[in-house]
Each structure stands twice: as structure tokens, then as C-alpha cells.
Amino acid sequence: MPDKKLKPPYKEEPDEFLALDYNNLTEEALGPGKGLGADDFAELKAVLAAAYKDIEAKYRKGELPFMDLPRDPDVPKAVRKLAEMGRKRFENVVVLGIGGSALGASAVFSALRPLNHNDLPPAKRGWPRLIVCDNIDPEGFSAVLEGLDLKNTYFNVISKSGATAETMSQFMIVYDQLQRTLGRSAIKEHLLITTDPEDGVLRKIADSGDFFSLPVPKGVGGRFSVLSAVGLAPLAMTGVNVTDLLAGAARAQEDARKPPAANKAYVFAGLNYLLTTAKKRNLLVMMPYSDALSRTADWFGQLWNESLGKARRLDGSPNPWAQTSVKALGVTDQHSQLQMYMEGSDEKTVCFLGADVSRHLVNIPAIFRDHEELAYLGGRSLGELFTFERLGTARALAESGRPNLSLTLPKISPATVGYLLHTLEVAAVVSGSLYGIDPLDQPGVELGKRFTYGLMGRQGYSIFKERYNKGLSLKKKYILK
């Protein structure tokens, strides 16, 4: 039963999919010099107009194919078919992938399936479990594999490049186990390969072995791929309504083409740009007040950090600005991190993420009425308490001169989550335009990958082993005695 709808005081008008409230970033809320004032908003208007022109031109040239994913006619059909097959046959769907090949499915699955989905008995669950293996700690990976009956398990290996050492080593282990346990000919029935449509070793393996495969669309990087086969296949197979997810995202896509003032993706990006460049707010704390949206903050962390953490601008000059996103969880981190956000180093903006209506009604019983310290709780709901903690914390931060903004879904549903994800993806690209950087590449991640190749002895990468050894000699020199 849904919780009774609360009317938060800040909401000026109802919004079908997503409300963005930034009152607590303004000078009026935070005090002169602290918050954004009339001059800042005038600048915002000008820089967003320029970004809009830039993004629209790129979109028209076909440089932002992720923006059209919500309207792809083919992949949703294919994944729905797969889901029907998987529902009848499998107990587990296991994703082998990392970064953008894993975080989107994790985020949407946690948001839209019951939080205890994997623990429910099959009849209640109705769909396979989803297990996302995005780490290669031998302890963790063995624990997952030991708990699986391979006969009932479907593996989805996801790698755009087909070269990521973590994913490919997991794939090799699983492939070998399937072969040994079920036989070579059975592998096909237990494996989906999601990779580049043309390039990479995984594509070669898919084609030469005639394995079922789906494409990571050309020009769509991992962190922008949740609404492609990368996210949709595992999500559909575990019971997420991908039709509604895409419908919400399609609505966000329409809205993201509107002029900046009426466009939440642009306003969100622009406000954070101003906070970073004019107010030296280099940290964005994404703080969901929702267990279901907790993994969405992890997904957002990758989106923001990999897109915006760039050493150079497109014109080659050094990029002086970067807004790092970190995660906190309400209310849990009110009792751990919040003290720092309220009174400590003053370089942060907090972004609250929540929903107006909880999907579960949990009443606090009206007991202990004669204890004044508890009487106010009895007869209320946990959802009310949760919402007021979020609203109260936002106000308390503002009173302490700490900027914060809120993204609020009317409720957590496939459509609103689709809308949120697409809006934030567009915001990342708009931010790239504002800072003058390329939000679609990740040269820093690539460098780390090359060191791994060198240390693992991959042909052609020995120079990275030498560079690593150079670092070791420094270590010896500076040891404290």
C-alpha cells in the first residue's frame, strides 16, 4: 500500500517525472557571497545558451548516439524475447562486466525489483536472480561461483572493448567451468555476449563460436549504455519493465532537447558548473534517501567522475575545473558523514535524491504514549520520518551556509527511473560542453589498464612494466627507518 502523499513545503508545482529544487543554492537561502545571486544566474543563462547550441549541433551530427537509445526499436524486442526464455529456464542471471558494463544494471535492478528479490523463493520472485560480478577479488568471485548451479545459470558477459582484463578473465573462468561441467555444446545455451558489433576479440569469439550476442552500439561508451542491450538484457531477464523504463527515458530525451531554461539536464549541469567555477565547490555529494536508489548514486559517481575528470580541454589547454562526485546514503550517513558536510571543510554541494512517495507503508505503532521522547513517533509512518529527515537536513545545511539541491521523483517507478538516468546522462554531456572538455572519453582509465597489461605480461606492453619498476626503486629510497 503506498504511503500517504506528503506535500514537501518546497514544491511549487507538481512534476510528473522529476523535480529539481535549487532554492538552497541561492544567496537568499545561504547568505550574500555564499549562494548564487542575480549575476550568477545571468551568467548561467548565457553559458547554457552556448552549451545548448554546441550539444544540439553534436546531436545532429550523430556524435551523441546515446541520446537516441530510448527510441531504439530492435533491442527491446530482442531482450523481451530473451527474458521470456530465461524466465522459464534459469534461476540466476550473472553479469560479468565492470564500470559502465555493470553499474547501470545494478542501479536499475536495485531501484525497480524488491530489495530482497534474490532471497525470495522462486515462486514469489517470478524471475531469475541478478548477480553482478564487477570485481575480481578471488574471494568474492569464488563465493559467487560456488553458490551457483550452472545448469540453472545464464551468464551475460559484457565488454564494449572485449579487452578489459577483469571481465575477460572472469569470462575465461566461466567458459571453462561451463565446458567442464555441462560440455562444450551446452555453452551456447548459457551465454550471452554483449560487445561491439564489429571490433574486438569478444566479437570474434561471439561470431566464430556462433554464440548469441547483442551489440554495444557504436559511439556509446559504457557509462552511457544502461539503456542499450548492456543494461536492458540483464534487467529484462530479471523482471524489470524495460518498456516503461524506456518510455520514461524517451520523455526525458524529448525534454532534454527543449531550450535550457525549461530543461532539467541543462539546469542541473549549469548550476553545478557555476558552483565549481564561481564558488569553488569541487565536491558533489550525491545523497539518496532511498535504499533502492543507493546504487543509482554509484552509477552517477562513475558517470560524473569519468566524464568530467579530464586533465585537458578540447583546445589542449589545462582544465582547471573538476567536480568530483562522492556518495552518501540518507539517513545512514547523517550519523557518520553529515557533521563534515555541515561544519567541516567547505568545498561541497550536497544533492539529495529521493521520492515523494514510498512504495511501502510501515507504521510506527502508537505505543509508549506516556514517554514524551517517543510519543511523537507513534502513529506516524517510517516513510514520513524518512522524508522529513531529508527535508530537515536540506534546511539545516542551508542554514549553515552549505549549498544543496534536490532531485525528487514523485515515486520510484520504471518510467521515473528511466527519466532520471537519461536526464543525468545528458547533464554529464552538457557539463562537458560547459568545461570545454570531452565527456565521452576516459584516458585515465585506459592508462591504468595498460599498466595491468604490462604487469600481466601482455605482448606489446612491456614498457609499462618498466615504468612500474621505476616506481619501485623510488619506494626503496624513501622508506622510513
Instruction: Decide: is 250 part of the binding site for ligand PA5 (CB under 6 A).
Output: no
Please report how close the Cβ of residue 246 comes to ligand PA5 at its closest, in angstroms. 20
**Residue for grid cell 536540506:** 394
Q: Which of 166, 264, 279, 306 is the catalytic position?
A: 306
* Residue 475 bears catalytic tag: no
Integer Cα distance of 441 and 404 in angstroms: 29
- The residues that bridge with 381 in the sheet, in sequence order, are 363
Please report how close the Cβ of residue 368 comes to ligand PA5 at its closest, in angstroms. 50
Contact assessment for residue 193 and residue 200, using Cβ atoms and an 8 Å cutoff: no
Integer Cα distance of 231 and 92 in angstroms: 16
Show contacts with ligand PA5 in window 443-472 (CB under 6 A): 445
- Per-residue burial over 98-111, b = 16 or more CB atoms within 10 Å of its CB, e = otherwise: bbbbbbbbbbbbbb
Instruction: Decide: is 238 part of the binding site for ligand PA5 (CB under 6 A).
Output: no
Q: Among all residues, whose Cβ is closest to ligand PA5? A: 222
Q: 241: helix, coil or strand? A: coil
* Residue 449 bears catalytic tag: yes
Widest distance between CA atoms in the chain? 75
Phi, psi of 167 (to 5 degrees): -65, -40
Strand 404-411, strand 19-21: pairing: antiparallel
Integer Cα distance of 351 and 328 in angstroms: 10
Closest CB to ligand PA5 among residues 40, 306: 306
Please report how close the Cβ of residue 445 comes to ligand PA5 at its closest, in angstroms. 5
Closest CB to ligand PA5 among residues 161, 323: 161
Q: Which of 76, 99, 260, 410 binds ligand PA5 (CB under 6 A)?
A: 99
Closest CB to ligand PA5 among residues 129, 160: 160
Show contacts with ligand PA5 in window 320-359 (CB under 6 A): none
Show contacts with ligand PA5 in window 125-164 (CB under 6 A): 159-161, 164
Single-letter amino acid code for the residue at 462: S
Contact assessment for residue 224 and residue 160, using Cβ atoms and an 8 Å cutoff: no
Q: Which of 279, 310, 348, 449 is the catalytic position?
A: 449
Instruction: Decide: is 296 part of the binding site for ligand PA5 (CB under 6 A).
Output: no
Binding segment for ligand PA5 among 50-58, 96-104, 365-373, 406-414 (CB under 6 A)? 96-104
Contact assessment for residue 226 and residue 234, using Cβ atoms and an 8 Å cutoff: no
Contact assessment for residue 194 and residue 216, using Cβ atoms and an 8 Å cutoff: yes
Strand order in the sheet with 19-21: 19-21, 404-411, 348-357, 283-288, 324-327
Would the CA dihedral through 467, 471, 476, 477 be positive or negative? positive
* Residue 422 bears catalytic tag: no
Q: Which of 335, 476, 477, 481 is the catalytic position?
A: 335
**Residue for grid cell 578540447:** 314
Please report how close the Cβ of residue 369 comes to ligand PA5 at its closest, in angstroms. 53
- The residues that bridge with 406 in the sheet, in sequence order, are 21, 352
Instruction: Decide: is 222 part of the binding site for ligand PA5 (CB under 6 A).
Output: yes
Closest CB to ligand PA5 among residues 167, 294: 167
Helices of type H across 262-413: 264-279, 294-308, 338-343, 372-375, 382-399
Instruction: Decide: is 21 part of the binding site for ligand PA5 (CB under 6 A).
Output: no
Instruction: Decide: is 439 part of the binding site for ligand PA5 (CB under 6 A).
Output: no
Instruction: Decide: is 101 part of the binding site for ligand PA5 (CB under 6 A).
Output: yes
Closest CB to ligand PA5 among residues 416, 442: 442
- The residues that bridge with 236 in the sheet, in sequence order, are none
Q: What is the contact mask toward ligand PA5 in residues 192 to 221, using x (rule: CB under 6 A)? A: -----------------------------x
Closest CB to ligand PA5 among residues 249, 391: 249
Q: What is the contact mask toward ligand PA5 in residues 44 to 83, using x (rule: CB under 6 A)? A: ----------------------------------------
Q: What is the DSSP string of 295-306?
A: HHHHHHHHHHHH
Catalytic residues: 306, 335, 449
Per CB under 6 A, residues contacting ligand PA5 are 98-101, 159-161, 164, 167, 221-223, 306, 442, 445
